[in-house]
Amino acid sequence: MRKLSADEAALMLKLYRRRKFGASHVLEDNLLEGFPSDKVDLLRNALKALKKGGILRAKKTKHSDAVSIPPTLGKEVYGELRKRYSWLPEPPWL
Give the alpha-carbon dihedral of 55, 61, 64, 70, to 10 degrees. -10
pLDDT at 37: 95
Sketch out the chain's domains with CATH numbers: 6-84 (1.10.10.10)
For residue 1, name the pLDDT band (cuts at 50, 70, 90).
confident
What does the pLDDT look like over 48-93, one tens digit per residue?
Answer: 999 999 999 999 999 989 999 999 999 999 999 999 999 999 888 7
pLDDT at 94: 64
CA 48 from chain centre, in angstroms, equals 11
pTM: 0.92
What does the pLDDT look like over 17-34, one tens digit per residue?
Answer: 999 999 999 999 999 999
